Amino acid sequence: RVYGPAEPQDAVFADVRPLLTSLLDGYNVCIMAYGQTGSGKSYTMLGPQSKNHEALLLETRGDLGVIPKAAEELFRLISENPPQSPEVEVSIVEVYNNEVFDLLAKDISPAVPGAKRDVIAAKEGKKELFLPTSELVNSAAEFMRLVEAGLQLRVKHPTLVHADSSRSHLIITVTLPMATSPDSSGCPSDHTLDSMPTCHSPRRMVREKQRASSLDLPLGAGPGDSLAHLQQVRARLQLVDLAGSECAGMSGVTGPALREASWINRSLAALGDVLGALWEGRGHIPYRNSKLTHLLQDAIGGDAKLLVVLCVSPCQEHLVATLQSLSFGARARQVQRGCVGRRGPPAARKHTIRQPS
């Protein structure tokens, strides 16, 4: 799907919305914006930002980006289906100069620019887990307050191409703990609600446990008690506003900003390499070549539904960067990743193209 310069944010979100339903069905979902610097990634994901570059203009509702709209849709879906009512856990990190920073860490203050905390990394077997601070939220407004706080710490730097250029990759992760019944396994033929495995909220799990213990029954021993067949899963939504690829000759950066541009380009190249390796079906996928690909490993090569929004400039002078972005999109589209979700059908991989006005 290609969106022209005049298309509203609502048109983009109309194509994103079904993925929120998938999330509540128990699928992992990743939505990311990719493109050169100044091409409209932050506008697409977040919406217009205020002149002091610190806050989202939430009052310009029609222009809200994917992230605030997704938050509204998520809580709308939750409120429509109270028995599912999962608690929503949010973490926000940025990858800056190939380091992962926790933007919700308690001991940092927005008043102190650059004060950040590395994300704690822990080993689980051979796997390295990143453990950022996470907060529970109960409404879209609470969610957006956290995002606003995180954005104030995100590194920005003016360049000749973009006066408000983001110098880091922003990754917002939303986690919904829920339980699912594996007895409805088997690849469903489509993604409708009816064909999805039954999901149960933690509240229902607690109720079931209480019932079992009040009857002095082992879990799952009661007639019709399906708890023994339930397993707890965590559906995850990752919302990613990548930093923009940048030609230093055009952006005119020097010193620390040049170093930032170099890390941005290297991490985006690593992302392209991972997609290339997946596409070619190589035995070794170089996720660990950059922190960005390491963090997004499950979304890119795992079982998530992945939606890539390409932001490209309609200007002649940006033709090379535009072709590079299209080539990235083509790669993302061609990757064959097998089954999506826990038992889902082949991944619904899409890429969409957005031209800023």
Element housing 178 (H / E): strand 169-180
Binds ligand ATP by CB under 6 A, chosen from 28, 39, 175, 267: 39
Q: What is the number of other CB atoms lying within 10 angstroms of the CB of residue 220?
A: 13
Contacts of 338 (CB under 8 A, 6+ apart): 346, 347
Q: Is residue 325 a contact residue for ligand ATP (CB under 6 A)?
A: no
Q: Is residue 41 a contact residue for ligand ATP (CB under 6 A)?
A: yes
Binds ligand ATP by CB under 6 A, chosen from 13, 19, 22, 38: 38
**Is 39 known as a binding-site position?**
yes
Binds ligand ATP by CB under 6 A, chosen from 164, 183, 280, 317: 164
Binds ligand ATP by CB under 6 A, chosen from 26, 35, 132, 150: 35
Q: Checking DSSP bridges between strand 305-311 and strand 29-35, what pairing results, if any? A: parallel
Q: Is residue 86 a contact residue for ligand ATP (CB under 6 A)?
A: no
Q: How far apart (Å, rounded) are the C-alpha atoms in residues 100 and 102?
A: 7
Q: How far apart (Å, rounded) are the C-alpha atoms in residues 135 and 146?
A: 9
Residue carrying structure tokens 């992230």: 67
| Residues of span 301-320 touching ligand ATP by CB under 6 A | 311
Contacts of 207 (CB under 8 A, 6+ apart): none
Q: How far apart (Å, rounded) are the C-alpha atoms in residues 351 and 1?
A: 7
The residue range among 85-93, 139-147, 161-169, 267-275 that interacts with ligand ATP, by the rule CB under 6 A, is 161-169
DSSP 116-130: -EEPEEEEETTEEEE
Indicate the residue among 11 and 219 with the shorter CB distance to ligand ATP. Answer: 11
Binds ligand ATP by CB under 6 A, chosen from 162, 191, 294, 331: 162
| Residues of span 212-271 touching ligand ATP by CB under 6 A | 243-244
Which residues of this protein are in contact with ligand ATP, per CB under 6 A? 35, 37-43, 48, 162, 164-166, 243-244, 311, 356-357
Extract the annotated binding site for ATP: 35-42
